[in-house]
Chains A and B, each alone.
Chain A
Amino acid sequence: MNLPVLSASDFASDQDIRWCPGCGDYSILAQMKKVLPQLGVLPEKTVFISGIGCSSRFPYYMNTYGMHSIHGRAPAFATGLKSTRPDLSVWVITGDGDALSIGGNHFIHLLRRNLDVNIVLFNNRIYGLTKGQYSPTSLEGHVTKSTPMGSIDHPLNPLSVAIAAEATFVARSIDAHVKHLEMTLRRAAQHKGTSLVEVYQNCNVFNDGAMAYAQDRNQRPENTIELEHGKPLIFGKNRDKGIRLVGHCLEIVKTAEVPTDDLLIHDETSADPALHYMLSRLRYPEFPEPIGVLRNVTGVATYDEQINDQVVQARSKKGVGDLQQLFNSGDTWQVA
């Protein structure tokens, strides 16, 4: 089949974008529009489903089908749609409050069911649309409008949660790191099964610079580590540091002092989630934070595939259902 050659503009809707100037969301939108034409999926076969929050305005800006649903529930809408329309390419757009607080339940269940949908989680560690309350990913001690003495909540790590739920594709990227973001979104789209991409996204109004250590191009090499499948974990501006597994712990070593063979080699395809989980626990400032694909397990059946397979199986076993036959089956009696 010859697909028309599409460009980013084919995926842009005619609506004015209403995010704050300087918001990290713009970059994610731009990368998405860049990735979609590369996938060979038509705009009319693509659906964006969001919850509530700044990020959730996303579908209005895409010239695809879309639903701006209710707070935290986008995964449930996506489940209903993808289960009945497996032919569609379905994206869930969500934020840290939407996915991890009010929608935590649905987030976990979408991941464990492994529907073939892609989740992009915009993590800015703050509630933006409600003007600056702390979120489930805000750090301890964070002073916000609702935590004047500092947050006493322990933050939730979405990648750890996803890996615990045995998600088949778990990745992280950064709004400002556009090439990396584009690559990560593309890989997420190509994965069969639920893909989670956490994107560090700057809220320049209510939490400016909260993740500057990773977003700023000068600080990034020291504070993040780009994962590549089959490659040793090396980071630093001069690629002089690495990660090594010692017992049950990861530790930072100087590459000059340790043979490369001793460094941890990233295996994103391992079905055992233990090492992926350990990677997800690496947090700034003690460690560089991993970006890229932590986990990419293939060959796991998807929910949408199975729910439709069962219909096919039942029909081949019992024949296509006939209502009249059903109604007349079992005990009946005649009244003359």
Chain B
Amino acid sequence: MDTPSSSNATSVQYVSGITVRMAGDSGDGMQLLGTQLTNTSALAGNDVATFPDFPAEIRAPRGTRAGVSGFQLQFAAEEIFTPGDSLDCLVVMNPAALVTNLADLRKGGILVVNEDGFNAKEFKLAKLDKDPLEDEVLESTYRLVKVPMTQLTRQAVADLGLSVKHADRCKNFFAMGLVYWLFGRSLEPTQRFIQTKFGMKPEVAQANETALLAGWAYGETTEAFGISYRVEAAQLEPGTYKNLMGNQALAWGLMTAAQRSGKELFYSTYPITPASDILHELTRYKNYGVRTFQAEDEIAAVCATIGASFGGSMAVTASSGPGIALKAEAMGLGMIMELPIVVINVQRGGPSTGLPTKTEQSDLLQVMFGRNGESPLPIVAPAGPADCFEMAQEAWRLAVRAMCPVVLLSDGYIANGSEPWKIPNVAEMEPIEIQHPEGAAQTGEKFMPYSRDENLARPWAVPGTAGLMHRLGGLEKEDVTGNVSYDPANHQHMTDTRARKIELLAEQIPLQTVFGDKSGEILVVSWGGTYGACHTAVSRCRKAGLSVSHVHLRYLNPFSRNLGQLLRSFKTVLVPELNTGQLRMLLRNQFLVDCRGINKVQGKPFTVRELVEAIRDQACVDRDCTVVDQKLQLCAS
């Protein structure tokens, strides 16, 4: 967003995009405000990317810094890939929200403050010895707009006979109305939302809508802002779009995979942040044949999927790192039984309980190696919220091709983030073909449960089929017959076969695509939720004249067939990850290429700036980069 040039009576200014964050106490309804603004912006045709950030506690101590909940959103008239680095606008409801978020507001940015939230009691809760609004730097650095939101909300709903407590609950809608005015957003989608959500309680619906309208009217009347902003529709690929969150996209992807393969979905899980929303979503779709099972623990959840898979269902479990640790033994069993399941890991900050509501990519090696014995499993990773839809289907497709568990690695940032999703045409989707052998009784031949097809997959014979009775188990099996075997040569052969089977999946996955040139100086290799930041950073550096390309991996085991060739076509390979270097270790190990890491574990996604700087530093190791720096400065503004 450009810095506005005039600040007299309100005028309208068109900008290419806005990054805004709303922050308040965890009970202040900031997540609701954020999702409404996101949805409304998407409906206005903007490209959107979101970053909700909230504490692990449901009601963290009120007014404290630890209890601050925020929602960041970028909406733009062009294609965007991240929720933005620095903020054009920050809305804060209390002192704690101000002091914990102010550093991200760019100089000259708009700072909207609920001044009713600023009093001695709140300063104490936020551990402040004076009113931060008295700091003159605020006025001189930012465009500070103080609004007595609590008072104005109370006045607006005064005629409705609500208690003060209930009236104050509407103040996020007042803030919403004000923000909508500031960015010229239509109130209509949120008015509809209020009716749907609170229709059963007409007095609540009316109060919220009144507060929303009052917020808008306040913006319209006050001259404090001077300018309001407009962001036009983005030119996305033609089609019908919907705003979709990552976990919802996973759920829909799983349902679609079930339909494509002629199966009904069995989803078995144990509640854990940030994966639980997949369960909440799926359990609504029983009329689609979805059966959800909330198990007694993580182990039971995964074991139930293996039981269901044995019975011929499409079975899926999901968790986060701590739960995946508990599932490890059963994942190994699924692997040696050679039954298809999908195991979703929505990663969060670790180790142990770690940072439950924050994002991280530190479970790659866990899912790659975290089982006893030689037990390789395929791993896929969506690149963003909308990509979850496709990768959920890919996970199931690979699981039935190879007859083994497949791991899908999402993360908290993808799970809770949202972006426009182009609605696919279901009728045009290819089936995922599955063949269950019919009874062998007709031929009179003895059924061989560990015979193999061209993918080295064994037949998926399901109970109920005459003549195919067989026993699976965790003990090593003799190839072909499936009988228990302790034969040394057989164990070698089976270990090699199971590994080879995973390697062969490379034939089933697409070749790796490259953003930029196919050879050159620097290749940035990323995976998972860092896609947007990496893509944007590489794009900026290329515009500044650097020889840098980007490869984003959605298949982590096996890698695409052409990945080694690509890595060797660049002088330097940079691997940005929200861990201490896990993909880097795998790449070095497999390809003997000296990859360099850009690593961060702060529970937060990369900013584009961080990555641009890291790429720039690499590019400028042995050359003068004055010109590049000038260009980067231009591009980054």
Contact = CB atoms under 8 A, between A and B. Distances in A.
Interface stretch (A194-202, A239-247, A288-296, A318-326): A318-326
Contact of B45 (A15, A59, A77, A335): A335
A6 interface: no
A85 interface: yes
A204 to B, nearest CB: 23
A323 B288 contact: yes
Between A43, A45, A84, A311, the greatest number of chain B beta carbons within 10 A of the residue's beta carbon is seen for: A84
Interface stretch (B106-114, B209-217, B218-226, B240-248): B240-248
Contacts of B240: 328, 332-335
Contact of A45 (B333, B426, B463, B474): B463
Nearest to A65: B463
A335 B475 CA distance: 56
A80 B293 contact: yes
Interface string B431-464: 0000000000000000000000000000000011
B487 to A, nearest CB: 15
Nearest to B233: A335
Nearest to B471: A66
Contact of A65 (B255, B289, B290, B469): B469
A67 B287 CA distance: 31
Nearest to A44: B466
A70 B303 contact: yes
A59 B471 contact: yes
B307 A44 contact: no
B400 interface: no
A173 to B, nearest CB: 25
A109 B291 contact: no
Contacts of B333: 69-70
A68 B306 CA distance: 12
A98 B386 CA distance: 43
A76 interface: yes
B285 interface: yes
Interface SS of chain B: helix, strand, loop or mixed? mixed
Chain A interface residue number, banded: 35 or more
Interface in B309-360: 309-313, 315, 329-330, 333, 337
A87 B462 CA distance: 12
Given A64-B469, A307-B293, A79 B464 contact: no
Interface string B37-49: 0010011110000
A324 B266 CA distance: 21
A331 interface: yes
B484 interface: yes
Given A13-B471, A66-B471, A324-B427, A333 B241 contact: yes
Contacts of B189: 331
B266 A84 contact: yes
Contacts of B484: 15, 60
Chain B interface size, under 10 / 10 to 19 / 20 to 34 / 35 or more: 35 or more
A323 B471 contact: no
A45 B463 CA distance: 6
B259 interface: yes
A81 interface: yes
A271 interface: no
Contacts of A13: 471
Given A78-B307, A79-B300, A308 B242 contact: no
Output the residue of B39, B235, B313 with the most chain A CB within 10 A.
Answer: B313
A163 interface: no
Contact of A76 (B43, B286, B299, B467): B299
Contact of A15 (B233, B427, B472, B483): B483
Contact of B300 (A63, A105, A326, A334): A105
Contact of B304 (A47, A76, A324): A76
Interface in B272-307: 285-291, 293, 295-297, 299-301, 303-307
B365 interface: no
Contacts of B242: 327-328, 330-333
A321 B286 CA distance: 8
A321 B287 contact: yes
A202 to B, nearest CB: 25
Interface in B256-276: 256, 259, 264, 266, 268
A80 B468 CA distance: 21
A315 B469 contact: no
A297 interface: no
Given A83-B293, A324-B427, A326-B252, A73 B287 contact: no
Contacts of A258: none
A336 interface: yes
28 contacts: A15-B484, A42-B466, A65-B471, A66-B470, A66-B472, A67-B306, A70-B474, A73-B330, A76-B296, A79-B300, A80-B305, A80-B307, A80-B309, A80-B311, A83-B293, A84-B313, A105-B300, A106-B296, A314-B286, A315-B287, A320-B288, A323-B259, A327-B426, A328-B242, A332-B240, A334-B239, A334-B241, A335-B233
8 closest A-B pairs by CB: A68-B473, A80-B307, A80-B304, A321-B288, A76-B303, A314-B286, A77-B307, A66-B471
